[in-house]
Amino acid sequence: MIKNRKKNLFRGERTLRFLIGVLIIGNIFGGSLSMAFISKTNFEVESIKEKIAKQENINASLEMKINELASLDNVEAVATTYGLGYNNSNIRRVSTEE
């Protein structure tokens, strides 16, 4: 009986079964590979976020150092070190902000 069933396959049924099998297996492997790529990308994103956070901390500390060096007390100390006088009308603040 089973032998008779195999002989009575419709035209292209064997090819159709093969293609469905290939699609099912390809879907399984494709899903696994895409999840692996997504995981790798997420890891890279987290690494970049960590680098950005470190750089922001460095920038903040440098900005504090700039503000400290630009303080009025520091300007007066440098002026007296070089024998200069303090004249408030000659001080101009330059800002790089737009």
26, part of any domain: yes
* Per-residue model confidence (pLDDT) at position 83: 84
Look up the domain containing 43 and give its range.
13-90
Look at residue 66 and tell me whether its pLDDT is greater than 60: yes
**74 neighbors 68 (Cβ within 8 angstroms):** yes
Contacts 24+ apart (CB under 8 A), 92-98: none
Query: Number of structural domains, the chain?
Result: 1
95, part of any domain: no
96, part of any domain: no
Look at residue 71 and tell me whether its pLDDT is greater than 60: yes
42, part of any domain: yes
Q: How far apart, in whole angstroms, are the C-alpha atoms of residue 67 and residue 42?
A: 37
Helix (H, G, I), strand (E, B) or coil at 32: helix
Q: What is the mean pLDDT of residues 18-42?
A: 93
Main-chain dihedrals φ then ψ at residue 39, nearest 5 degrees: -65, -45
57, part of any domain: yes
Q: Bigger pLDDT: 89 or 33?
A: 33
Q: How far apart, in whole angstroms, are the C-alpha atoms of residue 81 and residue 75?
A: 10
